[in-house]
Structures are given as C-alpha cells and as structure tokens.
Structure 1
C-alpha cells in the first residue's frame, strides 16, 4: 500500500435498514464531499440488489482490506462476509444477525491488526439480534466486550455525540429516567469525564480540554430546593476531577448550557442522562452529528440515527451523518497517529 493510509472499515449494519443505501451514497459522493477511503464489510449480492433497486449502476469491487484503498476510486470496495443477507428492505429478519455480528467482529479485528484505521458502523436494530440470541444491549457494549477479549483489559465505553457546534457526553445512557438518580454516582461521573478528557487530547487534538458538567435537576437543584444530587454527588465529582488536573466547571443548569455563548466556554458537555445530551446535539445539527465511542483502544464512529426501516429501499435516505462519521473517523485516526 506504500504511503496510502489504512482505510476505514465500514460495517454493514442491518441490511433491512438504510445502511446499504447510505454506504452507496457515501461512495458516490466520495469526490464532491472528499469522503475518505473505506471498505464495506457486507454481502456483495445484497449491496448489488440494493443499488439496482435504487436505479444505480455502480461498480462493486470485491477486495481485501489491504487492497481496498487503492481500488476505492474504481468501485465501491466490499470485503465479502462469510454470511449472506436476506434482501428485504424495511423487514428486519433475525436470519441477518450472523452477518451483522460478523461484520462488527471483522472490523474490530482489522483495526486492531492495522489493516484499517478505524471502525465506522452502519445502524443496527436490537430486536432481530436479540431474537437470534445476541446478549449485549447494543453496539457500544459489544465493542467494549470485543476490546476486552482481544486485549485482556476491561474497557469502559463512553458515548459522545459530536457535531460542528457541540460535543455532548451522557453519564447514564439507555436506562429509564426514573432510574437515573440511583445510577448517578461520583465514580461514574469521574470515570466518564476522565475518559472524555483523555480522548479529547489524544484523538481530537485538544491539549487542555474544558469540560462543562451539567446538573441533574432544574436550575441545577437551586441550592437543594429542587433536588440534592448536585450537592451530594455532582459537585464532589467535579472537585475530584479538578484535583486530578481536569478543567471542569459546574454543576450548570442544563437549560442555559447550550446557547452559542455558553458553548464557547467548553470543549465538551458532560450530561447526566441520555436526552439531556442527545436532544441539544441533534437539535443543533441532526444531519452532521456523529456518535463517537470513547474509551476503546480503537476509534469507532457511527451516524447519529437508526436503521429507519420505514424509508428503507425508497432511495430517500440521506448519507450526511454517515459521511460526517467517515470524515471524523479519518480525522481522529490522523490525530492519534501524531500523538
């Protein structure tokens, strides 16, 4: 490959969703959007069927990871999976679970062996995987498991939504809102913030990251009048972070953290629960925001949306968030190689 950088490994996602369409669209826009070289881990026949359904006559190049960057200009590079996909847009099928999981496994192996620079994942749906016996809550937890399996070291995966105007990180993620106060611990806040600060330095190229930490309650508890978590948990966590050299401020009222002047004062917002982080991130830049997994020994990004079964196969899915995920993965990998 000479001086060519290792490409990005793009997983197939759920083939019944919009993953194949946005992968094709990203490759078609490779020149006008300067999309970095990637290869798609998928079933070539399924991708070809998707292209025909969309009325697109695109060249498909079956290749190996180490040859894909050189062949990227001539056709959509696909590294074939051993599994085959059921071609049924909009109708998820547990028969596709084997290939969905195989693509993730192989992408991680490729990155950790140096054949790829980063993992970029097309969206998956949990139910078909659960129906097939998949025992992990989702992508992030499975990636952490693969990391631990391959390195022998436990990895704590942290979700970041990164857009052009905001980076937001939730401490608690896919749990009921009623369960958040009990799950919100000093240790969880500190670990999340330390991982965020470390990756902002190593991968985002920010020498001295500034973290803004939200409160949990309205008005950040207003001195205990609207809740005490800010006093008993969040403020002590911020003090612990400062004692370790992290530039962290808060707890801040979430309703005043995300306007333009406030965002100028920090590099990432540490939020207490899922919607507190994701609503402002997606409201500010839905089509350009990227889901980044921090805390892993490899880079992983993905679009900030799901499988969109309702529009799969209709040719109206926008590839903007996937293109942003590919570009950010390339940027993070380049920064990490310089560190």
Structure 2
C-alpha cells in the first residue's frame, strides 16, 4: 500500500485552512494527512458555514484511507486574516514534521499551502527564507531547483528570488551546470521522461545578439551548455526569451530553463493562472506547492479559489504513481 501524501496547511491566519476544508469531500477516497491546528479548522469551517469531518490521526495509527488530520498546534489563538508572529514556531514545527515524515518514508509526497516568511522570521527563525530552503536544509541537500508547471508547460529557474541587479552575477558556469543536471535528473526520476529535452533561455535581449547586447551567453551560458551536451544532455539554446514560448518550439521540449524569475514565470502564470503548481526539484522526496501566497485579506471570506491546491495534490499523486510504477 502506498504511503499517504502529507499536506501542510500554511499560515493559520491565511487562506491555507480555508483550502483544506473541501478536501474531505473532494478527495474522500485518497490517503491524505493534513497538518493543521484542529481548532483553527473548526473555527474557519464555522465562519464559512462549511461541514467537514476530520478523523484524527498520528504516526503509529493505521494508514488512512481518506483525508485525516494530524493536529499541529498553532501556538496562539488565531483570527482569520490577522497574522501573528506567535504562530511562527507552530508553523515551523508543522513543516519539520512533514519533511521528516517524507525523509523517513512515512509519506509518499508533500504538498504545501502558503506561509508568510515575514511572520516566521519575526516570531520563530530570523534566518527563515522560505519552504524551499527549509526543506533543502532538512534533507541535507546543497542545491535545489524551482520549477512551475501549468498544463503541459514547465518552467524552471536558474535564479529565483533575487533583485534584477544581482541576477547576472549569480549566473555562473558551475551553477548553471548544477541546475541543468538537477532539472534533467528529476524529469527522468520524478516525471518518468526518459530523455528530457530542455529549452534554455538567454539572459540578455536577443540572447545577447552575438555579444552586442551582453556577453553572458558567449562567455557563460553557451560553454556550460556545450559541456553538458558532450555528456549527453539534450539542450537547446541559449534562445531569445521573447521568441522561445511559441507552441511549435515548446512542443519539441519537456521544460524551459529561464535565467530569472520574471523572465519565465509571467508566461507560465498567464498560461495557467490559479492552476499552476510549484515543484521543488533536487529533494529526495516529491514536493509540490500552490503558486500563490497567504492572501490574508481573503481568509474566511468564502471568495478563494482552490484550483492551485487541487492541481498540486493531483500532480503529487501522479508523480507518486509514476515513481511506484
């Protein structure tokens, strides 16, 4: 029997608890372990007028056959829409439980609802920079890769949350090679793509136009790609970003590697806004996430859309099935 998928409910004052409330009906026959504060879920359901049954579960209990709740105290009273740093330790505990469960083999995959980095930094860990870095540290992994997927489009990032002024300096040959190796390896191992084809974007307009608009393509990107091609990786590029996202070209590739956040993600989110999934590559377990933030202003309002969470869960289930088969 496949291990259950674990879902962290995110910041307790955000929309994460709202998103959890339709899981018992939508995924009634799917083994899901939701980490959340039971009182927070109860209060949010009452606020929204929602009926949701949550059997209680903890490690050592029989494997679940549907959605169950592993109680994880928030650490302070919670009001929807009002973030409180006093809940930061509770949120970190929740993330740690989920990561350790995946590393120990108790969970088949991890799906995360959004957290507020500033709340955790203020209330629990000043060094906290996000889910991705936290899980990498828990797993003892030096480098991970952020990839978002919407429908058939997959976009990975060579750099993530950096000011634009710092991007060029962060793109080095060794870093780019490591990113592409992780991307190709996980497309094989987690997505069951035997020989992944990667479309690599240039950094500069027109991919540098032969050095007239920047030399990063000539001096860094192309040498790194050529080295990896000699090792058997199937890489196209560097190509100009403004012409890369045409259907005919995308159809010939399994993923796109963008050089920076706002080079690739606006196109992806236009293609599947509200239904995109964030996947962390390079971890020893499957981790997917919603593509949006905590939306404190919508918590408890009844006006949220759960499409991204459903897509994240469905992709996690798909990847688990591919891995097991």
Whether the 8 Å CA contact 2:103–2:139 is kept in 1: the answer is no
Deviation at 1:127, TM superposition (A): 0.8
Q: TM-score, normalised to structure 2's length?
A: 0.95
Partner of residue 129, structure 1: 120
Deviation at 1:85, TM superposition (A): 4.6
Aligned equivalents of 2:118, 2:84: Cα separation in 1: 9
Match for residue 283 of structure 1 among 241, 265, 270: 270
Aligned equivalents of 2:91, 2:251: Cα separation in 1: 40
Deviation at 1:226, TM superposition (A): 1.1
Partner of residue 46, structure 1: 40
What is the correspondence of 1:79-94 to structure 2 with a 5 Å cutoff?
Answer: 79-94=70-85
CA distance 1:160–1:324, shift in 2 (3 Å)? same
Aligned equivalents of 2:187, 2:65: Cα separation in 1: 33
Task: Report the secondary structure of 1:60's partner residue.
Answer: coil
What is the correspondence of 1:187-198 to structure 2 with a 5 Å cutoff?
Answer: 187-198=174-185
Whether the 8 Å CA contact 1:65–1:116 is kept in 2: the answer is no
Match for residue 171 of structure 2 among 178, 184, 188: 184
TM-align CA RMSD: 1.6
Task: Report the secondary structure of 2:6's partner residue.
Answer: strand
2:299 is aligned with 1:312: yes
Whether the 8 Å CA contact 2:34–2:69 is kept in 1: the answer is yes
What is the correspondence of 1:126-275 to structure 2 with a 5 Å cutoff?
Answer: 126-134=117-125, 135-148=127-140, 154-275=141-262
Aligned equivalents of 1:79, 1:218: Cα separation in 2: 50
Deviation at 1:244, TM superposition (A): 1.5
2:6 is aligned with 1:15: no
Whether the 8 Å CA contact 1:26–1:322 is kept in 2: the answer is no
Task: Give unmatched runs, 5+ long, in structure 2.
Answer: none
CA distance 1:207–1:82, shift in 2 (3 Å)? same
Q: TM-score, normalised to structure 1's length?
A: 0.92
Match for residue 93 of structure 2 among 102, 119, 143: 102
Per-residue displacement from partner, 1:115-170 (whole Å, max 9, x unpaired)?
2101111100111111124212111001101001xxxxx33111000121210011
2:23 is aligned with 1:30: no
Deviation at 1:82, TM superposition (A): 4.7
Aligned equivalents of 1:130, 1:21: Cα separation in 2: 23
| Mean Cα deviation higher: 110-119 or 263-272 | 110-119
CA distance 1:281–1:120, shift in 2 (3 Å)? same
Aligned equivalents of 2:240, 2:37: Cα separation in 1: 48
Partner of residue 151, structure 1: none
Whether the 8 Å CA contact 1:36–1:330 is kept in 2: the answer is no
Aligned equivalents of 2:232, 2:16: Cα separation in 1: 41
Deviation at 1:334, TM superposition (A): 2.1
Whether the 8 Å CA contact 1:61–1:71 is kept in 2: the answer is no
Aligned equivalents of 1:66, 1:294: Cα separation in 2: 29
Deviation at 1:268, TM superposition (A): 0.6
